[in-house]
Structure 1
């Protein structure tokens, strides 16, 4: 809806960690969208708890809530998850359930899914979409606009987010980690952009670090003779160049910080305290 990709997308759960702000503007309106981490029912680390605070803080000033579910999966009750995600708000927010990936199942099955969610959940409306092909996205936009109050624009209408470029650079690299590596390794990784230098007569220089919790994870990331890390850096660089619309030189280093997901000070430094990350 904002016209460009801002949040990373993988086939693994809990890929989103930060509260990603997107801005969708037109002459007659402006929508501020927050993409939050999914609700974590079983919290394993302090990182999980801080991610949930980001979810709840996004709901404090929200005018409506959108829950996105996979239409290919069996329906499941989401009311408890919704209540935890909304947090301490006493008033009930207008809630839309978006059934994504409708292009992958038969129309008859979509109708059954819609009927189930309308019957067994407390959402106000269910809209099937195919985000991949853009089908139904305008219906979602119209639903949101019907819930927004009249007021001034909060941001200039020519920007899509308030996050700095280096935030998205780090997110692109983290997305590639999720796509290239399996099991626990991607979840144990934190990506920081240590240095970003614009060079008028040369490629922009980006120095990034990947933080892991164990040396064994570092070994897996680097791979034999550094081949895995080189493959990762190349894939990330190509997407970063596409995002920035310029050539870059990307340098990636892997470091170990034991149990960083349990270290509150580090988590706040890495931007999990709810503020916009600017590392």
Structure 2
């Protein structure tokens, strides 16, 4: 994902919302306090840093050196996170781990291939956890305005072979036919507030409007974004209720119904 997110790391670290304490606690309960957890595609440590206080060790792995540098900076004083360069194609090169968590990174991967490899690498009790927006996605209040700006600059979402973008097959459905087909799903809500600068900065954290992709058009893009946002909302303040889905997947012989939250059943398309 390094090429996809070139130049986004400082914006990602500053403007991407966290998942909320309740969602992180859910992960910690599923993993157990004495666990070594791989956070694959960790970015700047959105999950790795708060999770590290609740487990034995976190291996924070990302292909983007900028993301790892931001993670190390934000995790100053946190001793049980190891920041490592790597990706889903190099799982066997990593130190051993008991469980794995993936956030938005999972939708860029060849998910079936990754899950098959994890079946070889994880111990019998190993958990695959996916954390991110709910299946219905986020309805961000500024998105119609930002879509117009992206159209103006002719930037569209990337696709990756066998990923969610390429196939449209949801994580639930991929997991249902994987070795980790026993799923436990919960959703947590937390309220977020954004000002104009935060919404503009957020755009530069995305793959399709990454600074590396915009190149010398970054200033023009941000100015166009500001104009559209002010026209949409002159007060320059937005509130949004984020829904975070925590999906815990295990092999059928190791089902555990632990965890709290608003519990759901994985839905069919």
Question: Which TM-score bucket, shorter chain as reference?
Answer: 0.3 to 0.5
Structure with more relative contact order (C-alpha pairs < 8 Å, separation 6 or more): 2
TM-score (norm 2): 0.33
TM-score (norm 1): 0.32
- Find the structure with the greater CA-based Rg: 1
